[in-house]
């Protein structure tokens, strides 16, 4: 299958994530494949052309989807050649020796067979062979590589101080793969804001970030659990990208993938939650202080069969290998898809935000925090607004409007009155009365422009006469003036009376001096 066809099968977001993990995080093809739910060979199909052109991730991130897609067009997948087969049993035995790595064994294989597999293919074929073994293999993890996260099965009863109502607090647990160094905290529930917040606080407790986050398949973090192609929640993916790491969920019904956190949860339940079972807590801060006090003791507890403790092992192995924390803390953001309406606005929580009018009927992505709303189209940000939760209202940027709509906004009350005065004093007074009768003058602009359009249909002289009659009968409305003109009442003599006042009398009504 050509790369052109593969490019169509994968979304541009997945392609960008593959390139980020390869170029920015320096991850291997197999790990990228598991994180992005694609084949390792597919990873190479996208990473290799980019590396051949010497492009960095910073350059890739500035490209549009179309520019990035051109890199993969017209490329043909190289034909597969027969490669000399290594002795997998011998390699498996050699790997058990101290200091021997799969990379070293590949180098020795390559020296003996220069036309043999490259490193990625060598590792992939070995892992396929190993997967056919009946015996379970003990998993080992590199320093700073993985952090395993899950919720404990036990909960902690919380008591409302005033009402006496009892609810159950959830306990989040995170454990580093190499040292088993553990973090735990209690949250109100397992919903997305608390799930993301617990990750952030765990990273800050570790004072660094592991390269890979390994969750179970909770609905809050994995939108569509699947053994082969789990769909990561967009907010979870956004947080991982902010911290420069990847999310690789444990395989469904494969407990060995998350054995570290299963053990950590069990230890937390035994050494922290069980000792707290007889205490009554009236708030999460009080409960977390108690958890963290026991957590320090648990991490400092000496191993039974090894020298040192989780903390000492963390300081010597995991801590130096962790990725540094970014300069800014991740701001929780949610994502949703929306279709741009014909009025070039998208709806978010019953409020409407503008996008460039050229995107009418297009599908966009909305990223929103508690203060901002960002709108993306094909991975490019096309609009940014301050968040406003006022129902039914619009937040509009003038530059997003068509030119004709922008010109309409340039009208002001004084400009409309001056325009009406060119027809006559009565027309100007009617227009002023229309705007005075509204809570805001701009709400009367449409009616005023309708009245002025009657001058084109009939004549400016007849419009002025109709407005004089409308002032006397207090009918300063578009429909009233149109009716006068349609029935020819503007041609009849006027009764002798004083010019009328605006149709609504109120101490807040503006006078003509307001507009000058």
Q: Domain range for residue 294?
A: 146-321
Please check whether residues 435 and 501 belong to one and the same domain: yes
Please check whether residues 211 and 269 belong to one and the same domain: yes
Contact 174, 261 (CB under 8 A): yes
Quickly state the pLDDT bin for 125 (edges 50, 70, 90): confident
Please check whether residues 311 and 353 belong to one and the same domain: no
Please check whether residues 419 and 392 belong to one and the same domain: no
Q: Compute the mean pLDDT over every residue in the chain, rounded to the nearest whole number.
A: 81
Please check whether residues 358 and 492 belong to one and the same domain: no
Q: How far apart are CA 455 and CA 458, in angstroms?
A: 5
Is 80 within the bounds of a domain?
Answer: no
Quickly state the pLDDT bin for 173 (edges 50, 70, 90): very high
Quickly state the pLDDT bin for 170 (edges 50, 70, 90): very high
Q: pLDDT by residue (tens digit) across 464-482?
A: 998 999 898 888 888 888 9
pTM > 0.75: no
CA distances from 147 to 18, 178, 236, 240, 444 (A): 20, 9, 15, 12, 61
Give the model's pLDDT for residue 499: 45
Is 327 within the bounds of a domain?
Answer: no
pLDDT at 8 over 70: no
| Average pLDDT, integer, range 318-322 | 90
Please check whether residues 264 and 194 belong to one and the same domain: yes
Please check whether residues 509 and 467 belong to one and the same domain: yes
Q: How far apart are CA 162 and CA 330, in angstroms?
A: 34
Please check whether residues 127 and 204 belong to one and the same domain: no
Query: Which residue has 């159950």 as its token pair?
Result: 168
Closest CA to 233 of 249, 209, 250: 249
Q: How far apart are CA 109 and CA 89, in angstroms?
A: 14
Half-sphere exposure of 454 (CA within 13 A, CB side): 27
Residue 439: partners with Cβ closer than 8 Å, 6 or more residues away: none
Picking from 158-162, 283-287, 380-384, which range would have the lowest pLDDT averaged per residue? Answer: 158-162
CA distances from 514 to 213, 367, 426, 446, 511 (A): 63, 42, 18, 20, 6
| Domain endpoint, select from 41, 72, 103 | 72
pLDDT at 52 over 70: yes
pLDDT at 44 over 60: yes
Contact 269, 186 (CB under 8 A): no
Is 289 within the bounds of a domain?
Answer: yes
Q: pLDDT by residue (tens digit) across 206-262?
A: 999 999 998 886 566 555 444 434 456 788 888 999 999 988 887 665 656 567 778
Is 81 within the bounds of a domain?
Answer: no
Please check whether residues 186 and 294 belong to one and the same domain: yes
Is 382 within the bounds of a domain?
Answer: yes
Angle at CA of residue 100, ends 94 and 104, nearest 5°: 100
Give the model's pLDDT for residue 391: 86
Q: pLDDT by residue (tens digit) across 249-276?
A: 876 656 565 677 788 888 898 888 888 8
Contact 369, 331 (CB under 8 A): yes
Angle between helices 192-206 and 234-243 (to 10 degrees): 20
Structural domains in the chain (count) = 5
| Average pLDDT, integer, range 318-341 | 90
Is 329 within the bounds of a domain?
Answer: no
Query: Which is more confidently placed, 261 or 377?
Result: 377
Q: How far apart are CA 466 and CA 469, in angstroms?
A: 5
Q: What is the DSSP letter of 322?
A: S
Is 463 within the bounds of a domain?
Answer: yes
| Domain endpoint, select from 25, 42, 72 | 72
Please check whether residues 315 and 341 belong to one and the same domain: no
Is 430 within the bounds of a domain?
Answer: yes
Quickly state the pLDDT bin for 407 (edges 50, 70, 90): low
| Domain endpoint, select from 404, 433, 463 | 404
Q: How far apart are CA 18 and CA 171, in angstroms?
A: 33
Query: Which is more confidently placed, 398 or 136?
Result: 398
| Average pLDDT, integer, range 358-367 | 90
Please check whether residues 262 and 397 belong to one and the same domain: no
Please check whether residues 242 and 118 belong to one and the same domain: no
Q: How far apart are CA 235 and CA 193, in angstroms?
A: 9
Closest CA to 236 of 178, 177, 194, 185: 194
Contact 196, 369 (CB under 8 A): no
Quickly state the pLDDT bin for 323 (edges 50, 70, 90): very high
3-state secondary structure 108-142: HHHHHCCCCCCHHHHHHHHHHHHHCCCCCCCCCCC
């Amino acid at each position: 299958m050509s790369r052109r066809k593969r490019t169509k099968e994968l979304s541009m977001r997945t392609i960008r994530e593959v390139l980020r993990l390869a170029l920015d995080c320096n991850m291997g093809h197999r790990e990228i494949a598991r994180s992005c739910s694609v084949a390792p060979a597919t990873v190479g199909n996208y990473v290799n052309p980019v590396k051949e052109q010497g492009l960095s991730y910073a350059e890739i991130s500035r490209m549009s989807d179309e520019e990035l897609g051109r890199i993969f067009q017209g490329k043909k997948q190289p034909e597969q050649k027969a490669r000399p087969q290594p002795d997998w049993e011998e390699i498996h035995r050699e790997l058990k020796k101290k200091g021997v790595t799969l990379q070293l064994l590949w180098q020795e294989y390559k020296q003996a067979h220069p036309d043999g597999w490259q490193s990625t293919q060598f590792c992939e074929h070995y892992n396929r062979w190993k997967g056919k073994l009946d015996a379970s293999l003990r998993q080992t993890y590199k320093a700073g590589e993985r952090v395993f996260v899950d919720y404990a099965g036990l909960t902690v009863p919380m008591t409302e101080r005033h009402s006496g109502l009892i609810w159950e607090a959830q306990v989040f647990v995170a454990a580093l793969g190499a040292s088993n160094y553990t973090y735990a905290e209690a949250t109100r529930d397992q919903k997305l804001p608390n799930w993301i917040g617990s990750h952030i606080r765990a990273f800050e407790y570790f004072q660094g970030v592991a390269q890979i986050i390994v969750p179970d398949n909770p609905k809050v973090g994995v939108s569509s659990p699947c053994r082969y192609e789990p769909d990561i929640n967009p907010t979870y993916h956004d947080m991982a990208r902010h911290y420069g790491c990847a999310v690789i969920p444990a395989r469904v019904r494969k407990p060995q993938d998350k054995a570290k956190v299963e053990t950590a949860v069990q230890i937390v339940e035994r050494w922290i939650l069980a000792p707290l079972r007889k205490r009554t807590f009236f708030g999460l801060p009080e409960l977390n202080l108690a958890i963290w006090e026991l957590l320090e003791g648990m991490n400092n507890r000496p191993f039974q069969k090894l020298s040192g403790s989780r903390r000492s092992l963390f300081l010597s192995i995991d801590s130096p290998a962790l990725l540094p924390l970014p300069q800014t803390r991740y701001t929780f953001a949610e994502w949703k898809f929306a279709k741009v309406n014909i009025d070039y606005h998208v709806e978010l929580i019953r409020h409407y935000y503008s996008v460039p009018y050229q995107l009418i009927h297009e599908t966009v992505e909305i990223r929103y925090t508690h203060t901002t709303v960002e709108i993306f189209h094909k991975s490019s940000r096309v609009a940014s607004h301050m968040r406003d939760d006022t129902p039914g209202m619009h937040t509009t940027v003038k530059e997003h409007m068509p030119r004709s709509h922008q010109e309409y906004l340039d009208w002001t009350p004084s400009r409309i009155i001056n325009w009406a005065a060119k027809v006559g004093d009565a027309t100007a007074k009617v227009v002023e009365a229309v705007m005075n009768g509204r809570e805001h003058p701009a709400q009367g602009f449409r009616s005023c422009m309708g009245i002025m359009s009657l001058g084109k249909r009939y004549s400016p002289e007849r419009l002025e006469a109709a407005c004089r009659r409308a002032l006397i009968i207090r009918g300063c409305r578009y429909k009233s003036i149109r009716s006068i003109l349609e029935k020819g009442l503007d041609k009849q003599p006027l009764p002798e009376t004083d010019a009328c006042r605006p149709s609504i009398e109120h101490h807040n009504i503006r006078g003509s001096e307001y507009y000058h």
